[in-house]
Amino acid sequence: MPANKTYPSHKNANGEVDDEFYPLIRKYKDGRIERFMSSFVPASEDPAASRGVVTRDVVIDQGTGVSVRLFLPVQAAQAGTRLPLVVYVHGGSFCTESAFSRTYHRYATSLAASAGALIVSVEYRLAPEYPVPTSYDDTWAALRWVASLSDPWLAKYADPSRTFLAGDSAGGNIVYHTAVRATRDDSIMDIQGLVMVHPFFWGPERLPAEKVLDGDAMFPPVWVDKLWPFVTAGGAGNDDPRINPPDEEIALLSGRRVLVAIAEKDTLRDRGRQFVCSMRGCGWVDGSLTVVESEGEDHGFHLYAPLRATSKKLMKSIVQFINHRATLPSPAMVIPGGSAETMLGVPSRPFKDIFGYGMRMKRWSGTSFGLKVGRAKASTTSYGLRLKQARTFGDPVSAPTSVRFAMRNCF
């Protein structure tokens, strides 16, 4: 476990506070850090102790202490078929929580048992002691370790062709950037899908939901405004593309399918909707893009109330997403005018209803586009595409202006 992952009691804390982000973290002027997280849970290879799931910790980098916890569902492993592989990145606003905490151990156990998947939960180093982009680099190191299949569980049970990146809140942000980074590295495995639950994105200007002062919100906007500068050690503002990704970067997103989960009362909900809007502007449609909106719920509700009906519905949607084996078209290769109105196991809702606005994104014409296969550069025709190891990416440079900028009119 990295040295900065401590679980101190805050009940008798003394000293002058420098930064306060309760219920996440408190920093004192003398440099002390208090984190308010759930208790540590040890790994166990006793399947009877945890829903038939055995767990094991592996340090993947002795120098940094970066490690992972593996979750293997025994019954699924004994069936003789290789399992979906999910690299999971925990939330906690980049500065708290742990793959080894009770909250995330319980969630990863449930996901492994429900999906019949081998879960690799990443224990990355936390801000402010290790500012962003340390969490990005640690997750990338974990993905490269996973791709090596050097661990015996991975080598024996994992199906690398069904690799997913998943995370919630800050973890959703991290896996997004990991997926983008994977598009530029030929040595990494193909990413089958991306699961982003209540992803932590923000920006310098208020979106509609962020202008409403809701006293019941878990994270008020004024609180979120201060968080990104805090976790980057003052090195970045809320206009930073890492927290406010540009459309050109979203267009390069790796993976054949993406699931984005949004909570109706979450302060970050419009950021999730904006991200979905940008994806649709890049050609993603319902067959490859799953949107799950949980009515009446706030940020991270599924972690703290797993038995609630909305939590079970979200888990079911993620499980179906992971285990869906149908061959789906890559986003830029959808036949113009085609329809894909059913999301995987989730009742379909019109795009304008999800967003609450009477708009629908324009689809690119598709009557004239260029295509090159392999490592060639994108065509200079009106819509350039490139295929790389069965993955297809739209080229934001040669895409029509109406495609690249239509998403900016969503709000």
Q: pLDDT, tens digit, for every residue of 104-151?
A: 999 999 999 999 999 999 999 999 999 999 999 999 999 999 999 999
- The encoded tokens of residue 104 equal 């995330």
Q: What is the DSSP letter of 57?
A: E
Residue 336, C-beta contacts closer than 8 angstroms, at least 6 positions apart? 363, 364, 365, 366, 367
User: Which domains occur in the chain, in start order?
Assistant: 34-323 (3.40.50.1820)
* pTM of structure: 0.78
- How far is residue 352's CA from residue 339's CA, in Å, rounded to a whole number? 16
Amino acid 255: pLDDT: 76
pLDDT digits (tens, 9 = 90+) for 281-335: 998 988 899 999 999 999 999 999 999 999 999 999 999 999 997 544 444 333 2
pLDDT digits (tens, 9 = 90+) for 335-345: 233 333 333 33
pLDDT digits (tens, 9 = 90+) for 248-258: 999 988 678 99
Of the candidates 339, 267, 330, 270, the one whose C-alpha atom is nearest the C-alpha of residue 300 is: 267
- How far is residue 382's CA from residue 158's CA, in Å, rounded to a whole number? 41
pLDDT digits (tens, 9 = 90+) for 5-54: 443 444 445 679 889 888 889 999 998 999 987 799 999 999 998 999 99
Q: How many CA atoms lie within 13 A of 335 on its CB side?
A: 4
Task: Give me the percent of the chain exceeding a pLDDT of 70.
Answer: 75
Region 203-220 average pLDDT? 84
Is it the case that residue 158 has pLDDT exceeding 80?
yes
**Residue count (the chain):** 411
Neighbours of 176 (CB within 10 A): 27
pLDDT band, residue 214 (cuts 50/70/90):
low
- How far is residue 308's CA from residue 181's CA, in Å, rounded to a whole number? 35
Neighbours of 227 (CB within 10 A): 23
- Sign of torsion, CA 328 332 338 341? positive
Q: What is the mean pLDDT of the chain?
A: 80
Is it the case that residue 394 has pLDDT exceeding 60?
no
Amino acid 215: pLDDT: 64
User: Quick one: which H or E segment has residue 322?
Assistant: helix 309-323
Tell me which residues are annotated as active site: 169, 266, 299
pLDDT digits (tens, 9 = 90+) for 141-152: 999 999 999 999
- How far is residue 249's CA from residue 396's CA, in Å, rounded to a whole number? 8
- How far is residue 121's CA from residue 100's CA, in Å, rounded to a whole number? 9
Of 20 and 402, the one with more pLDDT? 20
